[in-house]
Amino acid sequence: MKAKEMTHTVKALFAGDKGLLAMDESIPTCNKRFEEAGIPQTIEYRRKYRQLIVTTPNLGKVISGAILFDETIHQSTDDGVPFIDMLKKAGVVPGIKVDEGTMDLAGFPGEKITMGLDGLKERLSKYFDMGARFAKWRAVITIGSVIPSRGCIEANMHALARYAALCQEAGIVPIVEPEVLMDGAHDLKRCFDATIKTQHILFDQLFAQNVNLKWLILKPNMVLPGLSYAKPASIDKVAEATVNCLLQSVPPVVPGVAFLSGGQSAEDATAHLNAMHVKYKGKLPWALTFSFARAIQQPALEIWKGKDENVAEAQKMLYFRASLDNAARRGEYTPEMEK
């Protein structure tokens, strides 16, 4: 077990007020975002876009770790510098998404199971040799009239625990991401109930699989009403519900929690993280940070539009959004800073 290596990785990922950048969209997801922004959906444009991100000036001042996708971890800049080396040079720890996406879960209509355990041991060892020091696996839990089912939650949390054990065996810190989706018209209470149940079952499975919680990062959803629910919840209510949920399910030995943004606006995701720090500063057993994809990238992607002449402006926006999330980690973010 590469204990020292993993301890070092965890420390680096939660250093100061920094957080993580998820830039691990699968090819179909990245293409979908490109299509919406009018950008050609080719391997070269995906490379150019990821180059824009990893060459952002001073990225390492605001971002501690970046999660890559398999296609991206093999790519390089125009000058032939591997992206993974660019990140290391910037002081950003490289990570890798290792799940292989979701498929319908047999016997459970409307629910999904995440794939990717087959051959994972070998893939992890290859990624470690390439320089990746942490990994991510995302499970999705859907809220509907009669779901999520216990069967779906258990199957997904079992897979997450098996993945986490394999990561630690390889010296890679696992990020476990049980995402309760925002899609739907459910209220905040239903999201809370689904999230707390999911997290309880997750930690039960992690214990059963001998995963050492001190080398583990939880990447949860915030507790929110569904996207098509009539009334938005206040910033403070979301912060309270999210922290209360975590306090009841996440053991104190877990070093840190890094939230996904899950379809919230960039401003909302930042404001919610900020409110948690304002209200609970010094009172929580684990660090709270961000591991956003859309809430950091989307405004920059919309500026870039696939055009070389927009790269510098897009990079400024990426840096700006991440710096606002740093402010949120200090509990110092205000909406005025958006201007």
260 binds ligand 13P (CB under 6 A): yes
E strands, 193-329, in order: 217-218, 256-259, 287-292
Shortest distance, position 80 Cβ to ligand 13P, whole Å: 28
97 classed as catalytic: no
Q: How far is the CB of 309 from ligand 13P (least distance, A)?
A: 27
294 sits near ligand 13P (criterion: CB under 6 A): yes
CA distance 26 to 98: 11
Q: Is-catalytic flag, 35? A: no
- Answer whether 224's CB lies under 8 Å from 186's CB: no
Our CB check for ligand 13P shows the closer of 35 and 122 to be: 35
Distances (CA, A) of 249 to 89, 204, 244, 299: 37, 10, 9, 34
Give the position of tokens 């080396």: 85
Binding of ligand 13P by 22 (CB under 6 A) = yes
Min CB(54)–ligand 13P separation in Å: 17
Q: Judged by CB, which is closer to ligand 13P: 164, or 295? A: 295
CB of 296 to ligand 13P, least distance (A): 8
| 273: contact with ligand 13P by CB under 6 A | no
Select the span of 52-60, 82-90, 121-129, 257-265 touching ligand 13P (CB under 6 A): 257-265
Would you count residue 262 as binding ligand 13P (CB under 6 A)? yes
CB of 146 to ligand 13P, least distance (A): 25
- Which among 303, 215, 204, 304 is positioned nearest to 255, based on CA atoms? 215
Residues 149-178 interacting with ligand 13P (rule: CB under 6 A): 177
Give CA–CA dist 339/109, Å, rounded.
45
Among 21, 66, 157, 293, binds ligand 13P (CB under 6 A): 293
Per CB under 6 A, 295 contacts ligand 13P: yes
Sign of CA dihedral 85, 90, 95, 101: negative
Among the listed ranges 163-171, 208-216, 224-232, 290-298, the one in contact with ligand 13P (CB under 6 A) is 290-298
3-state class of 319 per DSSP?
Answer: helix
* Strand 287-292 versus strand 93-97 pairing type: unpaired
Interaction of residue 242 with ligand 13P, rule CB under 6 A: no
Long-range CB pairs of 228-236 (<8 Å, 24+ gap) are 228/183, 228/184, 228/185, 229/184, 229/185, 229/186, 229/187, 229/188, 230/185, 233/188, 235/268, 235/271, 235/272, 235/275, 236/275, 236/279
292 belongs to the binding site for ligand 13P (CB under 6 A): yes
Minimum CB distance to ligand 13P smaller for 233 or for 258: 258
Give me the least distance between CB of 79 and ligand 13P, in Å please: 28
Active site residues: 177, 219
Interface with ligand 13P (CB under 6 A): 22, 138, 177, 260-262, 292-295
